[in-house]
Structure 1
Amino acid sequence: MDQLNPSDLKAILHSKRANLYYLEHCRVMQKDGRVLYLTEAKNENQYWNIPIANTTVIMLGTGTSITQAAMRMLASAGVLVGFTGGGGTPLFMGCEIEWMTPQSEYRPTEYMQGWMQFWFDEEKRLEVAKQFQLARVQFIEKIWAKDRDLKDHGFYVDDLDIQQALDGFAKKIPHPTKVGDLLLAEAATTKQLYKIAATRTGLKDFSRNPEQGDLANDFLNHGNYLAYGLAATTLWVLGIPHGFAVMHGKTRRGALVFDVADLIKDAVVLPYAFICAKEKITEQDFRQQILQKFTEHKCLDFMFDQVKAQACKNHDVDGEAL
C-alpha cells in the first residue's frame, strides 16, 4: 500500500474543521500512513481511523497512550493534543490550560503583532475584554433565537428573565474601569443564566460546583473543556500565546484560552448541560450533542472572527481565511 503523507491530504481550514475527539482506554498509533486508535475487544483488537485533516483537537483520557509516529502525523496536520482525566476533565499539567501544540514556523505573525499593539495598554486591553463580552451576549441571543432544540425545552430568548439577564449585562459592560469589576458583572450574569436553565429543566436545587459530582456540574465541566480545545486551536492557528489574556490573566497563565472559550460557553454548553442532565443521558451522548451543536452553530468560526477582529483593529492585517 502506498504511504499517505499529511501533506497529501486536502487542506481544510482550521475554522471549518468538524471533529474534536475524546478518547479513552485505547492506543493511538500510525499505520499505513494513517492515524488510528486501537481498542481491545474481548476476542479481537479493533482499529478506528481518525480523519486528521478534518480534526482540530484530540483529548486523551483514562487508559490512553500515543506513539511518536502518530504525534508526528498529528503535528503535520496541525492537530492539538491534550491529556485529560476521565470524561475530558481536568486537563492535566496542574490547573493550567496546556496543549501539546504542533511546531510550525509557518503560522502568521501579523495577528500576534496586532494583539501586542494594544495588550500592553491596560485601557485598551479592558476595551477588548468588553468587546468580547458584548460578542458573548450577542452570540447567546443569536443561538437561543434560532435553536429549535432549545425552544423545545423552554429557552426563548424573548422571555422576560432571559432578556433582563442579557440586557442588564450588556448595559453594564461599557462602565467598568477595572477588569475585576467586569469579571464580577460577568460572574453575576452567568449565575443568572444557571438559574434560568435550572428552572426550565426542573433542576431547581442546582448550585455551580465543579467538584459536586451531579450530572449538570459534570456536563458543564466536560462541555467547557471541549470549548477550551476549540479556543486553544484558534489561538494556535493565529499564533497568539495563551498568556496574553484580556480578562483572566492575573490568575492563570493559560487565561486567553478561557477568554476565548467564554465567547461560546454560555450559548451552547450551559443550556445543553442542563437539558442533558434532565434527560439523564450518558456522558458520551452529551459529548456528541455538544460537538454537533458546535458544528451546527459554527462556534469555531465565531471564535476566529472575534479574535481576528480585535487583533486587526489597530494593525494593518488583511484577515485572510484560516
Structure 2
Amino acid sequence: MAYGNLHKLPKISDRLSYLYIEHARIDKEDQAIAINSDFGGTPVPCAGLALLMLGPGVSITHAAITTLAECGCLVAWVGEFGVRFYAAGTGTTRSANNIMKQAKYWTDERMHMKVVRMMYEMRFPDRLDPNLSLQQIRGKEGVRVRDTYARLSSQYGVKMEKREYDRQAWKNADPINKALSVANSCLYGICHAAIVAAGYSPALGFVHIGKQLSFVYDVADLYKMETTVPAAFKTVAAGEADLERRCRTACRDEFHQTNILKKIVSDIHKLFDQDLSEFDEVDDYAVDQSAPGYLWNPQGESSAGGIMYAGTDQEDKKW
C-alpha cells in the first residue's frame, strides 16, 4: 500500500537521523526496504528515517526508491565516507508555501539582512549589538570558531594547526581535519533533509550564496561548534583506526541524543517568522499529492487551478 496521505507519516522532527550505506544492494521488502550484502540482509523501516545516504558500491531498485519517496525519506547519493554530495531526492512536503516565503525574504534586502543577523545571533549566548556591522559580526564569529578549536584541542589532547584538507588528496589529510570533514558532511545531510522536508529550498542561502546547497551551509553552521566539532575531536582522541566509521557513529549518536532534527526544523521556521505548531497544517497536498495547485494573480489572491477559464459567460469547467 502506498502512503497517499502524508499526514500519516512520522513528522520529520520525530524521525531517526540518517543511515549511511556502501557496497550493498537495496531492495523493497514489504512496506520497507532491505539492505543486502555479503553479511546478509537487514530490514529498514524507512518511514521512521529522515535521510538515507548512499555511498560507493550501492545499487538500489526502482521499487525501493518508490517506497522511500512515498515514506518521505530523503535519499542522497554521496561520496566515500559521505564527504561529497552528488544528488538527492524529495522530502515529505508537497506544498510550496514555505519556499515562496523563503524567496520573499531572500529578495528583500531588509528581510534578507534580518535573517542573516538572526543566524549569527543564534550562535551566541547574548544578543548582538544592533550597531555592529556585518563585517564586525563575521569577525566575532571567526573568534568564536578559533577559540572553540583551541579549547577542544587542549581538552582532548588533539593537535590541530589549522582547518584544511585537499579534496583531491583525502588520504593525506591529518586525522582531525579528516574527522571534521566526515562529521560536517553528516551534518550537511541532516540539514539538507530537514530543509527539504520542511518545504524550503537548499539553494536560497542568506549567509552563503551562489551554490545549490547554500542554505544547507547556513543552517549547518548554527550547530557545528556544539555537535560535529566536539564529536570529531573526541573520535580522534580515541584513536585513528577506522576513523571515518567511528566518526559517523559518534555524529549519529550526538544527533539522536540532542534531537537535532526537531531543533533544525524549529529554528528554520523561526527564521521566517513561522510558528512550528502551525507547520503541521500548511501542506494542502499532504492528503492528495496530485491535487491541482493555484494560479497567480497580481492582486495577491490566487485562483483555483485545474479549471479551464474560457473567458465566456459559460460556467468554467474543471479539466
Question: Which residue of structure 2 aligns with residue 130 of structure 1?
Answer: 117
Which one-letter code corresponds to 1:293 in the other structure? E
- How far did 1:26 drift? 0.5
Matches of 2:277 and 2:96 in 1, distance apart? 12
Secondary structure of residue in 2 paired with 1:246: coil
Question: Which residue of structure 1 aligns with residue 270 of structure 2?
Answer: 309
Paired residues of 2:82 and 2:185 also in contact (CA < 8 A): yes
Matches of 1:296 and 1:317 in 2, distance apart? 21
- How far did 1:8 drift? 9.2
- 1:1-322 to 2 correspondences below 5 Å: 5-6=2-3, 11-41=9-39, 46-92=40-86, 98-102=87-91, 107-138=94-125, 171=128, 174-178=130-134, 182-211=137-166, 213-250=173-210, 252-280=211-239, 282=242, 283-312=244-273, 319-321=278-280
Q: Deviations over 1:26-73 (max 9, x none)?
A: 1111133431111124xxxx1111110110111111211111111111
Matches of 1:287 and 1:278 in 2, distance apart? 15
Paired residues of 2:206 and 2:215 also in contact (CA < 8 A): yes
Q: Deviations over 1:134-164 (max 9, x none)?
A: 22334xxxxxxxxxxxxxxxxxxxxxxxxxx
Q: 1:317 to 1:113 in 2, by over 3 A?
A: farther
Paired residues of 1:110 and 1:317 also in contact (CA < 8 A): no
Secondary structure of residue in 2 paired with 1:312: coil
Q: Percent same amino acid among aligned pairs?
A: 23
Which one-letter code corresponds to 2:253 in the other structure? Q
Secondary structure of residue in 2 paired with 1:115: helix
CA RMSD of aligned residues (A): 2.6
Structure showing the higher strand proportion among its residues = 2
Q: 1:271 to 1:31 in 2, by over 3 A?
A: same
Q: 1:130 to 1:88 in 2, by over 3 A?
A: same
Paired residues of 2:54 and 2:77 also in contact (CA < 8 A): yes
Matches of 1:205 and 1:224 in 2, distance apart? 17
Q: 1:28 to 1:205 in 2, by over 3 A?
A: same
Structure 1 or 2, whichever has the larger Rg, is: 2
Secondary structure of residue in 1 paired with 2:194: helix
Structure showing the higher helix proportion among its residues = 1
Matches of 1:8 and 1:114 in 2, distance apart? 24
Structure 1 unpaired stretches of 5+: 93-97, 139-166
Secondary structure of residue in 1 paired with 2:201: coil
Secondary structure of residue in 2 paired with 1:83: strand
Which one-letter code corresponds to 1:125 in the other structure? H
Matches of 1:216 and 1:279 in 2, distance apart? 12
Q: 1:126 to 1:261 in 2, by over 3 A?
A: same
Q: Deviations over 1:65-121 (max 9, x none)?
A: 1111111110111111112221111123xxxxx42225x7x5333322332332212
Which one-letter code corresponds to 1:47 in the other structure? G
Matches of 1:264 and 1:305 in 2, distance apart? 13
Q: Deviations over 1:154-210 (max 9, x none)?
A: xxxxxxxxxxxxx7xx647x44544x6644543342122111111111123432113
- How far did 1:6 drift? 4.5
Q: 1:69 to 1:175 in 2, by over 3 A?
A: farther
Which one-letter code corresponds to 1:101 in the other structure? T
Which one-letter code corresponds to 1:17 in the other structure? R
Which one-letter code corresponds to 1:64 in the other structure? V
- How far did 1:292 drift? 1.4
Question: Which residue of structure 1 aligns with residue 290 of structure 2?
Answer: none
Aligned residue pair count: 273
TM-score (ref. length: structure 2):
0.77
Structure 2 unpaired stretches of 5+: 167-171, 282-319
Matches of 1:73 and 1:88 in 2, distance apart? 23
